[in-house]
Amino acid sequence: MTKSDVRVEAIQKALRHFNFPAWLFFGFKNRDLLAMRILGFPENTHITRRWFYLIPQHGTPLKLVHKIERSSLDHLPGLSHLYVSWEELRAGLAEILKGYDQVAMQYSTDGIIPYISRVDAGTAELIRGQGVQIVSSGDLIQVFESVLSHAQVNQHRSTALKITEIVRSAFDRAAKQVSAGHEMDEFSLQQSIMADFSSQHLETDSPPIVAVNSSSGDPHYTPTVSRSRSIRRGDFLLIDLWARPKGSNTVYADITWAGFLGSNPPGKLMEVFRIVRQARDRGVEFLEDQLSTGNPVFGWQVDDQVRAVIGEAGYGEFFVHRTGHNIAREVHGNGVNFDNLETHDTRQVIQGLICTIEPGIYLPEFGVRSEINILVQEAGIEITTPSQKELLAYDL
């Protein structure tokens, strides 16, 4: 049995679990990276014509490919149908969809979850024109994109410890420089973190966030050579960093820590940090409670729980992003997000996923975020990153 045969059997098992009659994959010029990865296309695959691949709950998969690229799906099991003209494409679709009133595709109603909205509107119209309803493959996607192997989980745990050591060292480095009266700014501290990544054989898709005082009120602030604030005694400092070992199948860890370069942080800063920490921990408690009793949990529910804590404290309008995102080979993976703000994420939180919990309060004078990573287990969660319990403070 080939690797593709095994993958198709796994997909058919998932289709039966979610009670979907079939999963219809569609491709054009490698537009759908999810389909390419899930179906195991070789790297540097070059396909210039439309193709479809239908995997039913039971039985033999069906292919629809252009005659000049008839071998494009040869690595996959199934029966091939060929077309040349657009009329033959339509007829071929009618043939492979015969007997199906519903298929799953990389589609999201109203585009609510853009991570999985890969099928264009015209193709969706073409499928519906065959009398077939399209349902979202979102829950299927996370089974094959975001459920991690045992080796990947262990690697993630190791990476989490490494980047926690790096962030602590970064705070200590900043405090030492400030205490000694040496010049330091956000960009130079950011670049020192990048050097730490390199020494630990880690890589990142973009440099870490290093933000002082009002800079931290922008959740996605990034210092540059031309935009970088000095770091001084009495400053609030936030660092958000994410990295993975170099390689194609490695998994990210992603954390945010906050500190004050002085021994007596202002009362408002301490209050906001306490509320953010409480909201973060509420997300952990909710997941533990629900999973331990076997109740299904959906992404939007976690966001509601965390957001309520900040709202009840009077800071709801200053929490301007989702509670958390999936982590996998990309730092923002394709599994469920803890989100009922930017999207209404109805995907289920399933075993084997790693996600962040990272509430924040962003004020004009400063912004506080605390970010941890959690692994979903059969009856609860594991916090895979050391949790910041108190605001870091330095007696300078």
pLDDT tens, 61-119? 999 999 999 999 999 999 999 999 999 999 999 999 999 999 999 999 999 999 999 99
pLDDT at position 30:
87
Q: Amino acid identity, residue 221?
A: Y
* pLDDT tens string 315-347: 999 999 999 999 999 999 999 999 999 999 999
pTM: 0.94
> How far is residue 341's CA from residue 316's CA, in Å, rounded to a whole number?
12
Give 132-179 as a DSSP string: -EEEE-HHHHHHHHTPPPHHHHHHHHHHHHHHHHHHHHHHHHHHHHHH
Query: 134: number of CA atoms within 13 Å, CB side?
Result: 27
Segment 28-52 shows an average pLDDT of: 93
Residue 1's pLDDT band, with cuts at 50, 70 and 90, is: confident
Q: Residue 82: beta bridge partners? A: 65
pLDDT at position 363:
98
Closest CA to 242 of 114, 115, 333: 333
Residue 248's pLDDT band, with cuts at 50, 70 and 90, is: confident
Percent of the chain with pLDDT over 70: 100
Percent of the chain with pLDDT over 90: 96
Are 355 and 263 spatial neighbours (Cβ–Cβ below 8 Å)? no
Closest CA to 374 of 333, 326, 305, 306: 326
Has residue 130 got a pLDDT over 90? yes
Task: Say if residue 31 is exposed, middle or buried (CB neighbours under 10 Å; 0-12, 13-18, 19+).
Answer: middle
* 130-139: b (≥16 Cβ within 10 Å) or e: bebebbbbbb
pLDDT at position 175:
97
Are 287 and 332 spatial neighbours (Cβ–Cβ below 8 Å)? no
Has residue 44 got a pLDDT over 90? no
* pLDDT tens string 263-318: 999 999 999 999 999 999 999 999 999 999 999 999 999 999 999 999 999 999 99
* pLDDT tens string 255-267: 999 999 999 999 9
* pLDDT tens string 338-384: 999 999 999 999 999 999 999 999 999 999 999 999 999 999 999 99
Lookup result for tokens 């585009």? 111
pLDDT at position 43:
82
What does the radius of gyration of the chain's CA atoms come to, in whole angstroms?
24
pLDDT at position 312:
98
pLDDT at position 377:
95
pLDDT at position 122:
97
pLDDT at position 89:
97
Residue 183's pLDDT band, with cuts at 50, 70 and 90, is: confident
Residue-range domains of the chain with CATH: 3-145 (3.40.350.10), 150-393 (3.90.230.10)
Q: Amino acid identity, residue 11?
A: I
Q: Residue 203: beta bridge partners? A: 244
Residue 153 has phi, psi (to 5 degrees) of -65, -45
Lookup result for tokens 């004050």? 260
